[in-house]
């Protein structure tokens, strides 16, 4: 083959072979020289196991293993990532599809973050689930007013219903058709029901349907309050899921039927059935079931003993709901439409429910450890004053509520011994059993200033004529400056202390706190201690803003605190129960024998200065709407930022009363101030409360009747005041006599009818 190629090609091949030969020879020679060099220098092999290097061999192997392992890991990872990238490349979108995917992705991300935040808000509510929430109190209490007349019950009417399976089928259908048609289909929240309710409300341009499921309503009844806030709705939703997870549908429905308020002081369907129809819930007719099912929405509005036409109209709506839900046909309900239910005759007055809820807790505290569980509780409430308080609030809300953008109010009235005479916890107990008078903490605004002024008068030895400077004041905290201003937007300069409180100047209390104009500051601790001694129980966070009412307080606390001014410096012992009697008629608690003592918490001098200053506020200050004709009154208004809360707290020598107005959802009102509706409500009530009673002077004020000269006022007090028309409470001796008589009557054996007839005939013959 070599001979077949041309000469030129042969020449190239020869050169190439010669070059290869030279390279091989060079390599052999180089290898030989290196070997000879290693032998000459006796170089030890790094892999030789002999000698001192042996102990480092494992380190080299371990290092090699790490290097190779890391290389394989990254190589394999890179390969897998490439495979994943290639796989997802198939799902790559562009154009408008990519925009849609981005929107969905962002929505999922925001949704997850929002869900975490909502869960964080709801977590505090789950603490209630750790308590024994299934148990109800064992006590059965019949409440009497201050004169001994029955006004309502607690405990005894909160009875469990029979098992769901034993209740009439038409009653269960009536409840579900009205409250939650898809109860057995959803898992706590009925989103379809929410949509349907929203559509109906939009169509009617008002709230005609609610979207809360039975599980949500039960969560509210068991664990929450009726405050209309976003936080409460969030907790309600999570707790509804919790109930669905931990209870069966029948258990949820039974708890709902047992715990819902049904009007007339009744909780639960069993108690309501006995109260309205004097029969067991198992025996309810269709018309009666429809009437009771209609109470869940607004028990006070639709209670048959309050407004029978309203109750029957509502029952007719329930029957319509049953037909629309396909639970019954029109033919099956026509008889119930033609012959509506007729409840038994009851007193058409709703008892003081907010007061009884609060007083029931006091009964439980008193009766703790006693063997008795059934009591007759003589309370401090005055029914006439209670009605006057309710009417004052409801009339002003009806007339001015929409105009002022306010929907709720609360009021507490006490006498100078601390007895609660009236309590209003909201506009409608049937719509909301949340007691805003005792459980809602709202910022009191300037109505907190008397606690600050009293502390300043005590500590700095001020009088009403002491000079103070109304001027700019700024406080820097954590790099931020707070410079409170006055409501009028201007400063008055050097004024007396009385003008400062009468005109509700904001800068003066702040200066008292920090110290200014040559006076030392009184600080927050002394204000807190003073407020505590006067009856404030809520937590008070010490800061300069506290002097302007930044801490949340309850209405009953504010009334208690101002009661110290009414009593001349003594803290009043707030109470709602004066006597407990067991079922045998034995008195087991009498407050008059309990040894309560009033403790002086303010000096006479301080109370005198404060009362003389606050008596001017209704005269020429911010509370002129609260001025009483011919009666000396004192008090202070309060209005918070953004007009969320409006207060007036005032007192005479006879009563102290606190009034709050606002919205449950903290929505600002339309510039409602404490000197407006709250002062007007207070005046309307106090005008009624002081009719035909012995007027008591405000301590350390010489003239109790401001519109009458001092000499005439003294003569009037001596004998011109008309006597009290309301019945007095019985004396202790009279009560003991009646109690003994009651025991004797209970021990007498009943007389049979033939014996009665024979006795009557004998008397007739004797008379002849």
Token digits for 252? 């949820």
Tokens of 420: 């609660």
CA quadruple 757, 758, 763, 766: dihedral sign: positive
Q: Residue 614: which of 573, 564, 663, 660 has the closest Cα?
A: 564
pLDDT of residue 1: 46
Task: Give CA–CA dist 124/231, Å, rounded.
Answer: 11
The pLDDT of residue 261 is 85
User: Are 397 and 383 a contacting pair, CB within 8 Å?
Assistant: no
Please tell me the total number of residues recorded for the chain in this structure: 768
Helix (H), strand (E) at residue 153: strand 150-154
From residue 122, how far is each of 252, 545, 588 by CA, in Å? Answer: 20, 29, 43
Encoded tokens for 107: 């929505």
- Can you tell me the distance from the alpha carbon of 458 to that of 603, in angstroms, rounded to the nearest whole number? 8
Q: Nearest to residue 259, comparing CAs of 289, 302, 303, 214?
A: 214
The whole-angstrom separation of Cα 102 and Cα 133 is 46
CATH of domain 162-351: 1.10.3810.10
Q: Distance from CA of residue 241 to its chain's centroid?
A: 21
Confidence (pLDDT) at 270: 87
Closest Cα partner for 144 from 764, 735, 659?
A: 735
Tokens of 503: 């005109």
Rounded Cα gap, residues 96 and 556, in angstroms: 62
Q: How many angstroms separate the CA atoms of 723 and 695, rounded?
A: 10
DSSP 465-518: T-EEEE----EEETTEEE----TTSS--EEEEHHHHHHTT-SHHHHHHHHEETT
Take residue 133 and report the two structure tokens written for it: 């929430």
Place of tokens 């006490």: 414
Is residue 476 classed exposed, middle or buried when 0-12, 13-18 and 19+ CB atoms within 10 A define those classes? exposed
Other CB atoms within 10 A of residue 763 CB: 10
User: Residue 680 has what pLDDT?
Assistant: 97
Report the top-level CATH class of 389-720. alpha beta
Q: Which residue in the block uniquely carries the two structure tokens 């010669």?
A: 18
Rounded to an integer, what distance in angstroms lies between the CA atom of residue 642 and that of residue 666?
A: 10
Average pLDDT for runs of 10 along the chain of length 768: 51 58 56 51 48 60 79 80 77 74 81 76 67 64 92 66 79 92 85 67 55 84 72 80 87 88 83 89 93 89 87 94 93 92 78 93 88 90 96 96 96 96 93 91 96 96 94 83 85 94 94 88 94 95 92 97 97 95 89 87 96 95 94 95 95 97 94 96 96 92 58 34 38 64 63 53 53
**Which pLDDT score is estimated for 7?**
55
pLDDT score, position 723: 31
Give per-residue burial for 699-717: e unless 16+ CB within 10 Å, then b.
bbbebbbbeeeeeebeeeb
Contacts of 11 (CB under 8 A, 6+ apart): none
CA–CA separation, 316 vs 333, rounded Å? 9
DSSP state of 158: B
Torsion sign over Cα 255, 257, 258, 264: positive
- C-beta neighbour count of 743 within 10 angstroms: 12
The 3-state DSSP composition of the chain as helix, strand, coil percent (nearest 5) reads 50, 10, 35
Contact status, residue 277 vs residue 344, Cβ threshold 8 Å: yes
Would you list the domain boundaries of the chain?
1-43, 96-128, 162-351, 389-720, 732-767
Give the DSSP letter string of 530-586: HHHHHT--S----SGGGGGT-S-B-HHHHHHHHHHHHTTSEEP--BSEEEEEETTS-
Task: Label each residue of 420-479 as H, E or C.
Answer: EEEEECCCCCCCCCCCCCCCCCECCHHHHHHHHHHHHHHHHCCCCCCEEEECCCCEEECC
**DSSP code, position 718:** I
Q: Tokens standing for 729?
A: 């409470």
| Residue 301, number of CB atoms within 10 A of its CB | 17
User: DSSP letter at 379?
Assistant: E
Give ∠ CA 384-385-391 in degrees, rounded to 5. Answer: 90
Predicted pLDDT at 432: 85
Instruction: Supply the pLDDT for residue 748.
Output: 62
Comparing CA positions, the residue from 640, 660, 641, 658 lying closest to residue 649 is 658
In eight-state DSSP terms, residue 330 is H
Rounded Cα–Cα distance for residues 733 and 164 (Å): 51
Q: How far apart are CA 534 and CA 522, in angstroms?
A: 17
Decide: 726 and 638 in contact? Cβ < 8 Å: no
State the helix-helix crossing angle for 308-324 and 286-293, rounded to 10 degrees.
Answer: 100
What secondary structure, in 3-state letters, does 233-258 show? HHHHHHHHHHHHHHCCHHHHHHHHHH
CB 53 within 8 A of CB 44: yes
The full DSSP string for 645-689 is: EEEEEEE-SSEEEEEEEE-TT----SS--TTTHHHHHHHHHHHHH
The b/e string for 113-129 (b: 16+ C-beta within 10 A; e otherwise) is eeeeebeeebeebeeee
β partners of residue 143 = 152, 377
Query: In angstroms, how far is CA 731 from the centroid of its own chain?
Result: 40
């Amino acid at each position: 083959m070599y001979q077949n190629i041309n000469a030129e090609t042969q020449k190239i091949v020869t050169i190439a072979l010669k070059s290869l030969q030279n390279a091989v020879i060079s390599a052999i020679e180089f290898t030989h020289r290196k070997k000879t060099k290693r032998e000459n220098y006796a170089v030890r092999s790094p892999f030789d196991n002999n000698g001192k290097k042996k102990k480092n061999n494992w380190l080299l192997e371990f290092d090699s293993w790490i290097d190779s392992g890391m290389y394989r890991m990254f190589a394999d990872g890179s390969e897998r990532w490439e495979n994943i990238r290639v796989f997802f490349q198939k799902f790559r979108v562009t154009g408008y599809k990519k925009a849609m995917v981005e929107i969905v992705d962002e929505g999922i991300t925001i949704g997850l973050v929002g869900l975490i935040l909502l869960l964080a808000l709801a977590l505090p509510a789950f603490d209630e689930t750790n308590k024994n929430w299934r148990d109800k109190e064992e006590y059965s209490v019949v409440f009497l007013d201050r004169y001994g007349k029955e006004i309502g019950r607690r405990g005894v009417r909160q009875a469990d219903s029979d098992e769901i399976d034993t209740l009439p089928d038409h009653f269960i259908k009536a409840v579900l058709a009205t409250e939650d048609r898809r109860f057995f289909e959803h898992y706590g929240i009925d989103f379809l029901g929410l949509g349907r309710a929203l559509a109906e409300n939009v169509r009617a341009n008002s709230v005609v349907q609610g979207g809360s499921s039975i599980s949500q309503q039960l969560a509210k009844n068991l664990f929450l309050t009726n405050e209309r806030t976003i936080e409460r709705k969030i907790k309600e939703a999570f707790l509804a899921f919790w109930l669905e997870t931990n209870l069966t549908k029948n258990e949820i429905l039974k708890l709902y039927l047992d715990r819902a308020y049904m009007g007339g002081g009744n909780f639960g369907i069993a108690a309501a059935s006995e109260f309205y129809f004097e029969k067991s819930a198992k025996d309810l007719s269709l018309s009666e079931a429809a009437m009771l099912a209609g109470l869940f929405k607004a028990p006070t509005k639709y209670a048959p003993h309050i407004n029978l036409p309203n109750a029957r109209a509502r029952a007719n709506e329930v029957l319509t709901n049953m037909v629309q839900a396909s639970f019954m046909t029109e033919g099956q309900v026509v008889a119930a439409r033609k012959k509506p239910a007729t409840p038994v005759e009851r007193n058409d007055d709703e008892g003081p429910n907010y007061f009884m809820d609060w007083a029931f807790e006091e009964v439980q505290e008193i009766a703790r450890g006693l063997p008795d569980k059934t009591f007759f509780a003589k309370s401090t409430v005055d029914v006439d004053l209670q009605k006057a308080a309710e009417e004052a609030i409801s009339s002003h809300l009806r007339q001015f509520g929409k105009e002022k953008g306010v929907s709720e109010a609360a009021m507490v009235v006490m006498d100078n011994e601390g007895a609660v005479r009236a309590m209003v916890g909201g506009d409608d107990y049937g719509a909301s059993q949340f007691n805003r008078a005792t459980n809602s903490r709202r910022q009191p605004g300037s109505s907190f200033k008397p606690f600050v002024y009293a502390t300043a008068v005590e500590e700095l030895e001020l009088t009403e004529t002491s000079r103070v400077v109304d001027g700019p004041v700024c406080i820097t905290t954590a790099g931020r400056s707070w410079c409170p201003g006055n409501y009028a937007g201007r400063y008055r300069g050097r004024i007396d202390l009385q003008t400062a409180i009468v005109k509700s100047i904001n800068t003066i209390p702040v200066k008292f706190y920090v110290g200014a104009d040559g006076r030392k500051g009184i600080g927050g601790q002394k204000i807190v201690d003073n407020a505590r001694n006067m009856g404030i129980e809520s937590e008070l966070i010490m800061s300069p803003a506290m002097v302007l009412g930044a801490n949340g307080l309850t209405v009953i606390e504010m009334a208690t605190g101002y009661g110290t001014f009414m009593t001349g410096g003594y803290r009043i012992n707030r109470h709602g129960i004066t006597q407990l009697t067991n079922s045998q008629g034995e008195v087991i608690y009498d407050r008059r024998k309990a040894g309560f003592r009033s403790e002086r918490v303010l000096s006479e001098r301080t109370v005198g200065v404060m009362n003389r200053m606050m008596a001017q506020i209704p005269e020429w200050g911010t509370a002129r709407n609260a001025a009483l004709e011919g009666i000396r009154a004192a008090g202070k208004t309060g209005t918070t930022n953004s007009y969320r809360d409006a207060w007036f707290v005032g007192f005479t020598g006879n009563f102290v009363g606190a009034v709050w107005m606002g919205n449950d959802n903290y929505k600002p009102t339309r510039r409602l101030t404490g000197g407006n509706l709250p002062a007007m409500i207070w005046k309307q009530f106090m005008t009624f409360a002081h009719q035909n009673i012995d007027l008591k002077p405000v301590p350390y004020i010489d003239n109790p009747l401001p519109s009458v000269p001092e000499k005439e006022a003294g003569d009037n007090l001596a004998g011109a005041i008309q006597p009290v028309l309301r019945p007095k409470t019985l004396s202790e001796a009279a009560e003991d006599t009646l109690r003994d008589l009651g025991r004797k009557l209970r021990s007498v054996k009943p007389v049979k009818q033939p014996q009665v007839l024979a006795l009557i005939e004998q008397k007739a013959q004797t008379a002849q």
